[in-house]
Amino acid sequence: MRVRSFADRIGGFLSLTVSEQNALAGLEGRARSLRRGAVLVRENDRTADLFVLSSGMMMSYVLLHDGSRQILRFLFPGDLAGAGALAYATSPESVVALADSVVCLFDRAQVAAVMARHPRLALAMTAIDQAERAAMTDRLAGLGRTSAQARIAAVLLDIRDRMRRSGEEVASGFTLPLTQEEIGDASGLTAVHVNRMLRQLEEMGLIARTGGRVILSDEVRLARTANYVDRLSRIDLSWLVPIPA
Amino acid sequence: MRVRSFADRIGGFLSLTVSEQNALAGLEGRARSLRRGAVLVRENDRTADLFVLSSGMMMSYVLLHDGSRQILRFLFPGDLAGAGALAYATSPESVVALADSVVCLFDRAQVAAVMARHPRLALAMTAIDQAERAAMTDRLAGLGRTSAQARIAAVLLDIRDRMRRSGEEVASGFTLPLTQEEIGDASGLTAVHVNRMLRQLEEMGLIARTGGRVILSDEVRLARTANYVDRLSRIDLSWLVPIPA
DNA sequence: CGACGCGTTGACCTCGATCAATTAGCGTGG
DNA sequence: CCACGCTAATTGATCGAGGTCAACGCGTCG
């Protein structure tokens, strides 16, 4: 199983000073293991913790009054989540494990202290968050303005890229760790229609499926139909380098 | 015309020290006036600036390959935008003035410097950003999972609350500074359907319209049908207070 | 074996899109 | 003051993407 720390993630965008590395190492908080399906945070729970997913896979979502669910984000090793705790006393979203997972919890005061001492880390964190925001706006545009087919294609590409970034070896294909209902809740569709769109993408030759595995056969056309951009890969922190502590 | 600085906005959540006030005052950047319709930033433009809207009203949006538009956010005086510059060399979104407006531009290096010197401001900025993220997830859930009627109701409530926060006196009603097409591009609907939903809300007695003015006649029912939450009003930074510089 | 969750498929329906036409508001020039 | 032209709002008719409902297959687990 792939394991990633937050230091690994930040280090991927910025070369860290020893002092910064130590700060991040010292931050490694309370570890907690979660079984598949276990709920880490429930919407409106009182919470003061942020966390980094160390291994496994999780998702965050909100529930609407009629019981329907909108999945906001899939989490992979190295991802920071729960940052809502910086602004709210209670969580604006629920977080649940999609696979057996391990998380590292940090109290927001710890996070604040590290940010105060290491401005460059604070800025890197902010920048990564901005990239996630951009990814979210892409999803917003997808839900508001694109076809069911495009949304499914986008989900597939997004998960593939996030798996890769988290250290998984994803060559041509990967095992989709989601039910079609979950894909639907992420893309604003019903499970039934997700099924039809997967079939359609398959018939068009853009993907192939065998068992639980998905192969992105024609990434170029897939990315084009999805309007997809890998926001995390475009991060440019070069302007930040000349500002050491 | 209402004018708001970023200091006003942050000060609304946190009592600032003199040093912090000075830092924000010193940050007030290059002012720039924009006519209604003027484009401040275009998607993929090279940019290193963030900005605060001082007066007027703007919006950010992205364009899809087929030419359709998704409005991401409406900006009111005091709102910070362009934070994508912290992560990217080119803007992930376009920003345009919806009314004659004035903005204050800051280079990201300036912003970084202030954040480095004033950790509490950095955290407050981060927290406000988290609140905007929460608002965006609400919109995501709205687009993915709610009816056209609910989305329109949400847009109306959102704009009302943002106007209020920016200092506008919004009693029972306000002048909607948007075309129905813009409301549609914000909510993932067509202008035609926006029109029908406005009429429907009117017939249901939830809103009233006279000329360009909208009156939210039954806020309670409106909020219920919209699944609406005012994220900015729930920010709780009390935990931050005990960490002075 | 039976219950259950998930995937798959078909039949049908609805919400919102699309197409089209009309009306209202408003600034401009005569 | 009025004719014109443009943009936005409004309304009706029709279409279609995606939802809903229902049935069935298949694998897993107790």
CA end-to-end distance (rounded Å), chain B: 35
DSSP conformation letters of A35-66: -TT-EEE-TT-B--EEEEEEES-EEEEEE-TT
Q: B230: nearest CA in chain A?
A: A92
- C-beta atoms of B133 and A84 within 8 A: yes
| Contact with chain A for residue B70, Cβ under 8 A | yes
Distance A32 CA to C14 C1' (A): 46
User: Which residues of chain A have a CB within 8 Å of the CB of B232?
Assistant: none
Distance A144 CA to C28 C1' (A): 38
- C-beta atoms of A237 and B87 within 8 A: yes
The CA distance from B190 to the nearest CA of chain A, in Å, is: 10
How many CB atoms neighbour CB A184 within 10 A? 25
How many CB atoms neighbour CB B207 within 10 A? 22
- C-beta atoms of B112 and A129 within 8 A: no
Whether the Cβ atoms of residue B95 and residue B41 lie closer than 8 Å to each other = yes
CA end-to-end distance (rounded Å), chain A: 35
How confident is the model at residue B211, as a pLDDT?
Answer: 77
Residues spanned by CATH 2.60.120.10 within chain A? Answer: 6-134
Instruction: Write out the H or E segment, with its range, that includes residue A101.
Output: strand A101-107
| Per-residue tokens: A75 | 């989490």
CA atoms within 13 A on the CB side of B134: 28
Instruction: Going residue by residue through chain A, which has 245 residues, state the pLDDT in tens, using 9 for 90 and above.
Output: 577 888 999 999 999 999 999 999 888 789 999 999 999 999 999 999 999 999 999 999 999 999 999 999 999 999 999 999 999 999 999 999 999 999 999 999 999 999 999 999 999 999 999 999 999 999 999 999 999 999 999 999 999 999 999 988 888 789 999 999 999 999 999 999 999 999 999 999 999 998 789 999 999 999 999 999 999 999 999 998 755 44
Torsion sign, CA atoms A58, A64, A66, A71? negative
Residues 24-63 of A with CB under 8 A from B: 48, 62
Q: Which nucleotide is nearest to B199 (CA to C1')?
A: D10
- Sort strands A213-216 and B69-75 into parallel, antiparallel or unpaired: unpaired
| Contact with chain A for residue B112, Cβ under 8 A | yes
| Contact with chain B for residue A148, Cβ under 8 A | no
- C-beta atoms of B86 and A123 within 8 A: yes
CATH 2.60.120.10 corresponds to the domain B6-135: yes
Which bases of strand C have any atom within 7 Å of the beta carbon of a protein residue? 5-11, 15-20, 26
User: Which residues of chain A have a CB within 8 Å of the CB of B23?
Assistant: none
Q: A223: nearest CA in chain B?
A: B65
Q: How many CB pairs under 8 A join A and B?
A: 176
Distance B118 CA to D30 C1' (A): 60
Q: B232: nearest CA in chain A?
A: A87
Distance A164 CA to C15 C1' (A): 39
Q: A91: nearest CA in chain B?
A: B134
The CA distance from B148 to the nearest CA of chain A, in Å, is: 11
Whether the Cβ atoms of residue B97 and residue B40 lie closer than 8 Å to each other = yes
In this prediction, the residues of chain B whose per-residue pLDDT falls under 50 are: 244-245
The one-letter code for the residue type at B11 is G
Residue nearest to nucleotide C5 (CA to C1'): A179
Residues spanned by CATH 2.60.120.10 within chain B? Answer: 6-135
What does the buried/exposed string (b/e) look like for A198-215 if buried means 16 or more CB atoms within 10 Å of the residue's CB? Answer: beebeeeebbeeeeeebe
Q: Any residues with CB less than 8 A from the CB of B171 and at least 6 apart, and which? A: none
Residue nearest to nucleotide D10 (CA to C1'): B195
Domain B147-226, what fold?
Arc Repressor Mutant, subunit A (1.10.10)
Residues spanned by CATH 1.10.10.10 within chain A? Answer: 147-226
The CA distance from A191 to the nearest CA of chain B, in Å, is: 13
CA–CA separation, A151 and A183 (whole Å):
10
Biggest CA–CA distance in chain B, Å, is 55
> Which CATH number describes the domain made up of A6-134?
2.60.120.10
A36-70 tens-digit pLDDT:
999 999 999 999 999 999 999 999 999 999 999 99
- Sort strands B58-63 and B94-97 into parallel, antiparallel or unpaired: antiparallel
Whether the Cβ atoms of residue A222 and residue A206 lie closer than 8 Å to each other = yes
How confident is the model at residue A171, as a pLDDT?
Answer: 81
How confident is the model at residue B245, as a pLDDT?
Answer: 45
